[in-house]
Amino acid sequence: MNLYRWEKEPQEGLVVVHVSDSLQLAEACSQAVPGTTIIMADGEYGGSELFTIRAEATIDAPITVRAANRGKAVILEGARFELQQSAYIIIQGLRFANTGHSAVHLNDCHHIRLTRNTFALKEDGTELKWLLISGADSHHHWVDRNEFGPRRDKGMYVSSNGGNGRMSQYDVYEYNYFHGSGPSFPRSEG
């Protein structure tokens, strides 16, 4: 068994749910079970919706949330994803342009994959962690082929806080593009 990579590439589930607005997405996420694929239509998913998933899926029956067309399902305003005590969930092809909160928060999760997303949060002076990983039982996340930036506010693109004095373990970050990071304070002239 490979400690750092998933044993195999998970495949999308057989139960397909199509959503086209924030309320449908929130409901689909809260009801997702192993083997569910949620496909987000092109458009904006905003408001203050919290898209919460709490499910222990498997590598053979993951839960997938993906854009129908990469980058065309946009998370705006105060909307965001929170995964709690979850496993084998894939978030793919979304564009995060929300503000005021982390775009994705993984809390006590393992084997979560974030792939081919764009993180370009709207900055408002808040110190944000765009992707926040927390919890003592967080491990084996796969963050690949995402774009992060630009950002000028305080905070971090990615924060792996973990819990009980240790950060999330055995996470893999590969082929991500981080850009446009600058000082979060005015430069002195002179």
Least confident range from 9-13, 92-96, 102-106: namely 9-13
Mean pLDDT value of segment 109-131: 93
User: What average pLDDT does the structure give for the chain?
Assistant: 90
Distance of CA 26 to the CA centre of its chain: 15
Q: What DSSP element (H or E) covers 28?
A: helix 22-31
Residue 189 reports pLDDT greater than 70: no
Residue 178 reports pLDDT greater than 70: yes
Flag whether 141 is in a domain. Answer: yes
Mean pLDDT value of segment 38-54: 96
Flag whether 184 is in a domain. Answer: no
Flag whether 9 is in a domain. Answer: no
Q: Quick check: 37 and 62 in contact, CB under 8 A?
A: no
Distance of CA 102 to the CA centre of its chain: 9
Flag whether 188 is in a domain. Answer: no
CB atoms within 10 A of CB 109: 27
Flag whether 60 is in a domain. Answer: yes
Please give the model's pTM, rounded to 2 decimal places. Answer: 0.91
Residue 28 reports pLDDT greater than 50: yes
Looking up residue 54, the CATH number of its domain turns out to be: 2.160.20.10
Scanning the structure block, which residue is given the tokens 């408002």?
124
Flag whether 120 is in a domain. Answer: yes
Flag whether 22 is in a domain. Answer: yes
Q: Supply the range of the domain harboring residue 92.
A: 15-152+160-178
Residue 111 reports pLDDT greater than 80: yes
Phi-psi region of 165 (alpha: psi -120 to 50; beta: other; left: phi over 0): left
Flag whether 6 is in a domain. Answer: no
Mean pLDDT value of segment 140-161: 91
| Total number of domains in the chain | 1
